[in-house]
Chains A and B, each alone.
Chain A
Amino acid sequence: MKRRVLIIEDNEQNLYLATFILERHGFEVCAAQDGEAGIAVAARIEPDLILLDIQLPVMDGYAVARVLRSNPDLARIPIVAVTSYAMAGDREKALAAGCTGYIEKPINPDTFIAQLEQYLPETVQNNGGGE
């Protein structure tokens, strides 16, 4: 079974870029363009990884991460913040909100997949595959 990644991202170009890279590397990608939709999709499909933009309309990424972490069913899913926020404390704020990792935009296509892999251990992948 393909590993499933949920991308919560409102910028179409960036969403397309990430989706393209992930699909080319054999991931199944679901997308949501705002926080609420993202939370709903996550609850429904229980992805193996969530890529979360921080600057989102209505509900920002920090709030989304907190909601996701409050759902016990989703608590084990790694959340990686992918953001163009680069001010001091952005990384800390993201981790405090419940994110597992943090990738600064712009993403580097050469290293992007390797960066994600470290949040997807083999065991998790195998367990996920066994479900």
Chain B
Amino acid sequence: MLVLFPVIGNVLTAHPFHLLSSRLVVVPKRIVSCPALLAVVFFWLLTVTRFCVAASPVPGDGSVPLTSSEVAWIRGHPIVTVAPTPDFPPIEFFDRDGRFAGITADYLTLLGRKLGVTLTVRHLASWQEVMESTERGEVDLWGAATETASRARLMRFTKPYLSFPAVIIVRKGTYDNLTLDKLTGLKVVSLARHVTDDYLSQQYPTLNRIIVHDIPTGLKMVSLGAADAIVVNAAPASYYIGETGLTNLVIAGQSGVVWPFSFASRKDWPELNGILQKALDSVTPAERQAIIDKWVKLDAGGLVSRRTFGLTVLISLGTAALVIGLVLAANRSLRRVVHQHTTELRAELKERQRAEIAAEKSEERLRLFFEAAFEGLFFHKQGVVSDMNPATTEILGYTPAEAIGRHLSEFISPRSRSLVLKRMQAGEPGPYELVGVRRDGSEVPLEVRIRTIGTDGEPQRVVGFRDITERKQAEEALREAHDMLEKKVAARTRELAEANARLQELDHLKSMFLASMSHELRTPLNSIIGFTGILLQGMVGPLNDEQQKQLTMVKSSANHLLALINDVLDMSKIEAGELKVTCAPFNLRGSIEKVVQTISPLAEKKGLSLAKTIAPEIGTLVGDERRVEQILLNLLGNAIKFTETGQISVDCAVVAGQVRLSVTDTGIGIKEAEVKNIFKPFQQIDSGITRKYEGTGLGLSICRKLLELMGGEIWVESEWGKGSTFRFSLPINRSLS
């Protein structure tokens, strides 16, 4: 009696018929729990034979009518090795515990029982490995494979017992209504040595195929955008989409091919193929149904009822695709889960890609930096150079071959060697300056920095340095320039001091000149004015009318000359900054009254009335009494001079915190264009009215200068032909009792 012992790897299991663990079942059930998802794990079962019941006594349970030679073969080959495709659920795959599972597994269990054959299961990593292992004669049996011409040279195939379409899967929103003809130009994922890949390579040789070795990887590549599409068997693709939650994948079209799957046995064992075919033929509809029900839960109200399932083996491929799409779109709760999963996967993939790129590039980049650095760089161990960059050669003239192995001290001038080495040993990072020695023995000023770089292995000591010859030269030039500048400044200062002394001397001379001129001019004027006055007084004797008239003219001219001398002297003193105003309390009211009294004879002479209005608060002011009187006298004199009829009035009051004096006349007034020039020196002379009205033309400009010195100001309001008002203000803050 043969006992069926499914073997996984090298381990015999005591539970040969429990190939599916409870955990494995959970996964498909979860997916199946949503009725529509039934379609996802749907597969097409093709029954190609009708079963007949045999009656001869045979090994196993006797349900397969074996010939005696077949029985003998079985007895001569007690162990048959099967190598399933590891990633082809739900047809054949290894579950999470590494156990062989799926429709094919159940079929083989059933066939093994019928035949009394022991199967050894080999768990290989991919279909490609299965193929390679088979080529080496290490595999006796395939559970589910499509017969092709090349494979037929290797294995002998039973009649197909299953069939599945290949579909084109893309990311949602990228392509739809695809066919294989439309894939040109896209990056298409295909599975190594799968029948679909063979087909694509023969029918579409120019297609841009990206070959992967397992279906989940291919699906992820499309999901994450590394590829545009995958052409893959619909059943495992749907299974993995459900399991991994790659909800952004949709079926964009049919490949147009449906692959039939058979058992295949090794070519040199023709008996086995016949035995398998007989066993397959002996599978009853009930047995087949039990296997199907286990993997495809259609009883929850699926598209295909249990009753009709066996007959409805081919369903419109288009409908299936549509349903898959609808299902994925509809299942929101699942989508949330899978979306999160996808996000995590994507993030992980990106992170991994980044890390890989970074790792690949970092070393190259470091090397580039090292080579391209403008600073010289020495790597050293205990002062012995282990590596250097090209800039070092530029600065010091040593080639790497000459420098590596030397001690750092050999590159430092004896002058700064001990000090620098001490600092280096102390680990001072710098920067510090030292004198380096080139290969030719010449010296070069360097700026040095020291670092320790933590690399993978032990910390690397690095000395970085740069040639600071130019900087040193610039510093030297700067110092020279500075010294020269200082010398120049000193020389210039001396010159200026001398010039200043000369100027002061000249200024003194000018003052002397003015004083002297004043004296020299006044002395003869004293005689002229004095004697004219005596004669006019009649002290010497009576004068006739003509004598009186002419002597009056002499006296008038002499007075004018005196006024001119006084004004010129004042202007000179002001401009030399020599005129100082005094600052003492005086009775402003008294000053105004005195000036008005002094000037009133002149007004009377012209028949002008002279009025004064002094506000009660006007009393004592702190300032220069003589100068205030001079200003007022000047303004009143002008008013009388330029007024033929009417009146002159003087007003004094406190306005806006200042003492304000106004002199108003009803004279000729000032043209608007001339107002702005009225306080400039010699303005009256320029205006061309000098001949009618005598004056020096300096009075108003002296008034303005004096007021500036006293902190006040002067201005005029005038209307041509109607009269003028001259106003001036004086600060009150330290005045007025």
Contact = CB atoms under 8 A, between A and B. Distances in A.
Contact of A109 (B515, B525, B534, B562): B534
B539 interface: yes
A106 interface: yes
Interface in B512-554: 514-515, 518-519, 522-523, 525-531, 533-534, 537, 539
Interface in A6-56: 11, 13-14, 17-18, 20-21, 24, 55
Contact of B531 (A17, A84, A110): A17
B530 A107 contact: yes
A58 interface: no
Contacts of B539: 20-21, 24
A54 B529 CA distance: 20
Contacts of B573: 87-88
Contacts of A110: 533, 537
B526 A14 contact: yes
B688 to A, nearest CB: 31
Interface in B11-70: none
A84 B511 contact: no
A85 interface: yes
B709 to A, nearest CB: 12
Interface of B is mostly: helix
Classify chain A: how many residues form its interface, as a range: 20 to 34
Given A24-B539, A110-B537, A85 B529 contact: no
Interface string A107-123: 11110000000000000
Interface string A80-103: 000011111000000000000000
Contacts of A55: 519
Of the listed residues B515, B530, B531, B534, the one surrounded by the most CB atoms of chain A closer than 10 A to its CB is B530
A105 interface: yes
Given A85-B519, A87-B518, A105 B526 contact: yes
A17 B530 CA distance: 7
A14 to B, nearest CB: 5
A88 B522 contact: no
B529 A84 contact: no
Interface string B475-519: 000000000000000000000000000000000000100110011
A105 B522 contact: yes
A14 B518 CA distance: 16
Contacts of B515: 85, 87
Contacts of A85: 515, 518-519
Contacts of A11: 523, 526
Contacts of B519: 55, 84-86
B529 A106 contact: yes
Contact of A88 (B534, B558, B566, B579): B579
Contact of B518 (A18, A20, A86): A86
Contacts of B531: 17
B511 A87 contact: yes
Contact of A84 (B522, B579, B580): B522
B537 A106 contact: no
A13 B529 CA distance: 12
Nearest to A92: B582
Contacts of A104: 522
Nearest to B580: A88
Given A86-B566, A107-B526, A109-B537, 18 more contacts: A11-B523, A14-B523, A17-B526, A17-B534, A21-B539, A55-B519, A84-B526, A85-B519, A86-B519, A86-B522, A87-B518, A87-B573, A104-B522, A106-B558, A106-B562, A108-B533, A109-B530, A109-B533
Interface of B: 511, 514-515, 518-519, 522-523, 525-531, 533-534, 537, 539, 558, 562, 566, 569, 573, 578-580
- 8 nearest A-B residue pairs (beta carbon): A109-B533, A84-B522, A106-B526, A17-B530, A13-B527, A106-B529, A105-B526, A84-B519
7 contacts: A14-B526, A17-B527, A21-B530, A21-B539, A87-B518, A106-B530, A107-B529
